[in-house]
Amino acid sequence: MKLYNYFRSSAAYRVRIALNMKGIKPENVFVHLQKSEQLAAGYLQINPQGLVPTLVDGDEVITQSLAIIEYLDETHPVPPLLPATPAERARVRSIALAIACDIHPIDNLRVLKYLTGVLKVSEEQKNAWYAHWVREGLSALETRLAADARTGRCCHGDSPTLADICLIPQLANARRVTLDLAVFPTLLRIEEACNALPAFADAAPARQPDAA
Amino acid sequence: MKLYNYFRSSAAYRVRIALNMKGIKPENVFVHLQKSEQLAAGYLQINPQGLVPTLVDGDEVITQSLAIIEYLDETHPVPPLLPATPAERARVRSIALAIACDIHPIDNLRVLKYLTGVLKVSEEQKNAWYAHWVREGLSALETRLAADARTGRCCHGDSPTLADICLIPQLANARRVTLDLAVFPTLLRIEEACNALPAFADAAPARQPDAA
What residues does B2 pair with on adjacent strands? B27, B56
> Are A48 and B144 a contacting pair at CB < 8 A?
yes
Residue that terminates a domain, selected from B55, B79, B103: B79
Cα–Cα distance between B43 and B53 in angstroms, integer? 11
Q: What percent of chain B has pLDDT over 70?
A: 100
Whether B1 contacts chain A with CB within 8 A: no
Residue B210 within a domain: no
Mean model confidence pLDDT for chain B: 95
Q: Which domain holds residue A45?
A: 2-79
Report helix, strand or coil for B2: strand
Residue that terminates a domain, selected from A33, A54, A79: A79
pLDDT at B156: 98
Residue A212 within a domain: no
**Do the strands B27-30 and A60-63 form a parallel or antiparallel pair, or are they unpaired?**
unpaired
Query: B189 and B114 in one domain?
Result: yes
Query: B97 and B60 in one domain?
Result: no
Structural domains of chain A, count: 2
> What is the end-to-end Cα distance of chain B in Å, rounded?
24
pLDDT at B36: 84
pLDDT digits (tens, 9 = 90+) for B26-66: 999 999 888 888 888 889 999 999 999 999 999 999 999 99
> Are B100 and A98 a contacting pair at CB < 8 A?
no
Show residues of chain B in contact with A70, CB under 8 Å.
Answer: 89-90, 93
Show residues of chain B in contact with A91, CB under 8 Å.
Answer: 62, 67
Q: State yes or no: pLDDT of B174 exceeds 80.
A: yes
Residue B19 within a domain: yes
Query: B137 and B72 in one domain?
Result: no
Cα–Cα distance between B132 and B155 in angstroms, integer? 23
Residue that terminates a domain, selected from A79, A111, A141: A79
Whether A64 contacts chain B with CB within 8 A: yes
Whether A51 contacts chain B with CB within 8 A: yes
pLDDT digits (tens, 9 = 90+) for B109-124: 899 999 999 999 999 9
Q: State yes or no: pLDDT of B80 exceeds 90.
A: yes
Whether B67 contacts chain A with CB within 8 A: yes
pLDDT at B162: 98
CB of A96 closer than 8 Å to CB of A165: yes
Cα–Cα distance between B110 and B154 in angstroms, integer? 31
Query: A61 and A107 in one domain?
Result: no
Query: B139 and B74 in one domain?
Result: no
Cα–Cα distance between B114 and B191 in angstroms, integer? 31
H helices present in A52-176, as ranges: 65-75, 86-100, 109-117, 123-147, 162-176
Q: State yes or no: pLDDT of B178 exceeds 80.
A: no
Show residues of chain A in contact with B102, CB under 8 Å.
Answer: 49, 51, 105
pLDDT at A41: 82
Q: State yes or no: pLDDT of B212 exceeds 80.
A: no
CB of B210 closer than 8 Å to CB of B32: yes
Query: A173 and A95 in one domain?
Result: yes
For residue A67, the distance in angstroms to the closest alpha carbon of chain B comes to 5
Supply the CATH number for residue A48's domain. Answer: 3.40.30.10
Query: B57 and B134 in one domain?
Result: no
Q: What percent of chain B has pLDDT over 90?
A: 90
DSSP label at residue A38: G
Whether A48 contacts chain B with CB within 8 A: yes
Mutation target vs B (from A61, A102, A104, A162; most B CBs, 10 A cutoff): A102
Query: B58 and B98 in one domain?
Result: no
Query: B75 and B101 in one domain?
Result: no
Whether A191 contacts chain B with CB within 8 A: no
* Average pLDDT score over residue span B77-103: 98
pLDDT band at B180 (very low <50, low <70, confident <90, very high): confident
Cα–Cα distance between A191 and A164 in angstroms, integer? 8
Residue A21 within a domain: yes
Query: B184 and B95 in one domain?
Result: yes
Residue ranges in chain A modelled with pLDDT below 70: none
Cα–Cα distance between B72 and A18 in angstroms, integer? 25
pLDDT at A148: 96
Following DSSP, what letter does each residue of B140-195 receive, concatenated? HHHHHHHT-TTB-SSSSBTS--HHHHHHHHHHHHHHHTT--GGG-HHHHHHHHHHH
Query: A123 and A59 in one domain?
Result: no
Residue of chain B with shortest Cα separation from A136: B49
Closest partner CB to B90 (pick from A71, A141, A144): A71
Whether A68 contacts chain B with CB within 8 A: yes
Half-sphere exposure of B211 (CA within 13 A, CB side): 10
pLDDT at B37: 86
Residue A210 within a domain: no
Whether B105 contacts chain A with CB within 8 A: yes
Residue of chain A with shortest Cα separation from B99: A101
Query: B188 and B107 in one domain?
Result: yes
Half-sphere exposure of B201 (CA within 13 A, CB side): 6
Residue A112 within a domain: yes
Mutation target vs A (from B119, B127, B166; most A CBs, 10 A cutoff): B119
pLDDT at A25: 97
> Are A71 and B48 a contacting pair at CB < 8 A?
no
C-alpha torsion angle, residues A88, A151, A165, B18 (rounded to 10): 30
Supply the CATH number for residue B143's domain. Answer: 1.20.1050.10
Residue B104 within a domain: yes
Residue B116 within a domain: yes
